[in-house]
Amino acid sequence: MDLTPLAKKMFLRLEPPSLADNTADLDRLRRGLKTAHGLEEVAVDLEVARKAPAILRRSGWRVTALLGLDGRPPRLLDLEAGQTAGREAGLAVDLGTTTIVGELLDLATGRSLGSASETNPQTALGPDILTRIQAARGQGLARLQGLAAEGINRIASSLASGAGLKEEEIVCLSVAGNTTMTHLLLGLDPANLCREPYIPVINRPDPVEAGTLSLKAHPRAPVFVFPNVGSYFGGDLIAGLVASGLAEREEVSLLMDVGTNAEVVVGNKDWLVGCAGAAGPALEGGVAKMGMAAGPGAIERVRIDPRTLEPQLKVIDGRAEPPLGLCGSGLIDLVAELYLAGVIDLQGKLLPLDHPRLVATEEGPAFVLAGGPGERSGEEEPILFSQVDLDILLRSKAAMYTILVTLLSQVGLTFQDLAKIYVAGTFGQHIDPWRAMVIGMVPDLDLSRYVSLGNSSLAGAVKGLVSGEARRKAARIRDRITYLELNVNQEFMNRFSAARFLPHTDRVLFPSVPRPAPRPEPRVG
């Protein structure tokens, strides 16, 4: 394992000065860093130089230097009396719009010291990227910056205390997030991200100091922020690419990050082409009444008995409580299961069957997933899945598939040419590829080609935290991606319309997907 974190502590035993060896304090320190740790040249910040003489003498010339190692030359960030090296940690952060996940790492071994997640405190000012950008106007930007820091700080504090460390012993951080989230964390105005022609302030931020961002860590700790390609192609995706290894292999693979905004990259070690497009909010739970983000209480998995139509649900953090709603992966499961059970037809219509789970509502027919008659789910509203919800999901899945088809046709490949399809993002880790294939959201391929990356943004952030090679990879991947503007022309629209069927108007494209079970008793009227 390449253990080259952004910052490192180094212990030094220095010879005290004498008339025979009267080199200056900081030059003595530099000499020690060269002799004992092979650092040829070290830049010294004035702040450290100012306090060094007292620390050197008080400690009897036994000191621990904190070095920032990402620039050339390395930089002396701090100096402590005595031996304090070996305990320092780094924090990798997946800065999501909804959820922030952090993992603390022992920098000496690369070992995980624990992970934790928090709802992004910015949600108080708006649930999604667009509302956040609106909230960032004027003084709002500083507030959103502070809230992002607050979310990371809660994680930093709890992980540090769990590992028996002081917050200042976190000596470096890496952050992967979408372009808007990293802009807000850095205090950069996101206004132009959502206005044509969609311009970020910066694509390749230089490392900043934790103190500048009000992060609870060593104030001089370098913070590496994953670069982005553009407004819709964030550092989280780059981190996912780093985690997947896609960009280093001979074989051609594809990585897809499914969400309100779908991001897709195809390529190998020689080339990388990517595009992003709106897939609609359905996949992130932003639909109708029963949709919710993947989080405690959300139904993430659905199985339906094709005979009885009785659902079996798996709820995130599910205890005794009834589920609160349905997240994206649950939604995909539900539609696939209803389709296979013959409750939804090829054209994406909920059939008005004569069954207690199918009820008529003002918005048309609906399937009662939980809390219906005869179920003991307290006084909550029943969780209904209506035709309106279905239509929204079908648009999202059609958009996703169309984006994939369009991208591949642009690079002259077919799905069969893909060695792997990596499903990335916090949402992606919950998707069942088979059911996503049943509804025609992803191509019909051998399931072994699908690889769920779990939280690939965090996995990439972890790599970026501990490995200089990973950080350089991130920079190279960013520079190598050819960004393809999705041209929403007639051809795209035709593809999109064809993809709104289940699984597709052209069933030949989905040979593995079985025809639905016949349902004998359509209700009349």
Instruction: Scan residues 209-268 and list those touching its own copies (CB under 8 A).
Output: 212, 228, 230-231
- Rounded to a whole number of angstroms, the minimum distance from the CB of residue 230 to its own copies is 6
Size of residue set near its own copies by CB under 8 A? 43
Is position 448 an interface residue for its own copies (rule: CB under 8 A)?
no
User: What is the Cα–Cα distance from 484 to 412, expressed in whole angstroms?
Assistant: 14
Return the closest-CA partner of residue 439 out of 308, 337, 302.
337
Is 32 a binding residue for its own copies by CB under 8 A? The answer is no
Q: What angle, rounded to 10 degrees, do the helices at 387-410 and 490-498 form?
A: 130
Q: Min. distance of Cβ 29 from its own copies in angstroms? A: 9
- Compute the distance between CA of residue 500 and CA of residue 493 in angstroms, rounded to an integer: 11
**In terms of CB distance, is 163 or 202 closer to its own copies?**
202
Question: Could you give the dihedral angle defined by the CA atoms of residues 238, 453, 217 and 143, in that order, rounded to the nearest 10 degrees?
Answer: 70
Pick the piece of the chain touching its own copies (CB under 8 A) from 42-50, 91-99, 107-115, 234-242: 42-50
Task: Spell out the SS3 assignment of 95-150.
Answer: ECCCEEEEEEEECCCCCEEEEEEEECHHHHHCCCHHHHHHHCCCCHHHHHHHHHHH
Neighbours of 289 (CB within 10 A): 16
Binding window for its own copies (CB under 8 A); candidates: 37-45, 151-159, 249-257, 353-361: 37-45
Minimum distance from CB of 198 to its own copies (Å)? Answer: 6
* Closer residue to its own copies in complex, CB, 205/330: 205
Instruction: Assess 316 for contact with its own copies (CB under 8 A).
Output: no
Report how far residue 438's alpha carbon sits from residue 423's, in angstroms, rounded to the nearest whole number.
16
Closest to its own copies by CB, 1 or 46 = 46
Taking the least distance from each CB to its own copies, the nearer of 71 and 296 is 71
Length of the chain in terms of residues written: 525
Cβ contact 146:215 at 8 Å: no
Cβ at position 274, least distance to its own copies in Å: 14
CB-based contact 403:255 (threshold 8 Å): no
Q: Report in angstroms how near the CB of residue 180 gets to its own copies at its nearest.
A: 13
Q: Which of 1, 22, 373, 520 binds its own copies (CB under 8 A)?
A: 22
Q: 360 forms bridges with which residues in the sheet?
A: 365
Nearer to its own copies, 139 or 448 (CB): 139
Q: Tokens 């991001």 — which residue?
A: 263
Q: DSSP state, 344?
A: B
Among the listed residues 345, 388, 392, 348, the one whose alpha carbon sits nearest the alpha carbon of residue 366? 388
The region of 23-31, 158-166, 392-400, 461-469 touching its own copies under the rule CB under 8 A is: 23-31
Residues 170-209, one symbol each (x = binds its own copies by CB under 8 A, - = not), give ----------------xxxx-xx---xxxxxxxxxxx-x-
Choose between 55 and 383: whose C-beta lies nearer to its own copies: 55
Q: Using CA atoms, how far apart are residues 278 and 272, in angstroms rounded to an integer?
A: 20
Check binding of 139 to its own copies (CB under 8 A): no
String of contacts with its own copies for each residue 456-485, x by CB under 8 A: -----------------------------x
Rounded Cα distance, 268 and 419, in Å: 10
Q: Which is nearer to its own copies, 55 or 338 (CB)?
A: 55
Q: Which stretch binds its own copies (CB under 8 A): 15-23, 119-127, 370-378, 441-449?
A: 15-23
CB 55 to its own copies: min, Å:
11
Q: Which of 4, 11, 37, 44 is close enough to bind its own copies by CB under 8 A?
A: 44
Q: Which two tokens stand for residue 350?
A: 């909920």
- Judged by beta carbon, residue 53 or residue 162, the one nearer its own copies is 53
The helix/strand/coil state of 257 is strand
* Span interacting with its own copies, options 14-22, 440-448, 456-464, 466-474, rule CB under 8 A: 14-22
**DSSP-assigned letters across all residues of 56-100:** HHHTTSEEEEEEE-SSSS-EEEEEEES--TT--EEEEEEE-SSEE
In the complex, least distance from residue 432 CB atom to its own copies, rounded to whole angstroms: 35
User: Residue numbers of the site for its own copies (CB under 8 A)?
Assistant: 17-19, 21-27, 43-46, 49-50, 52-54, 72, 186-189, 191-192, 196-206, 208, 212, 228, 230-231, 485
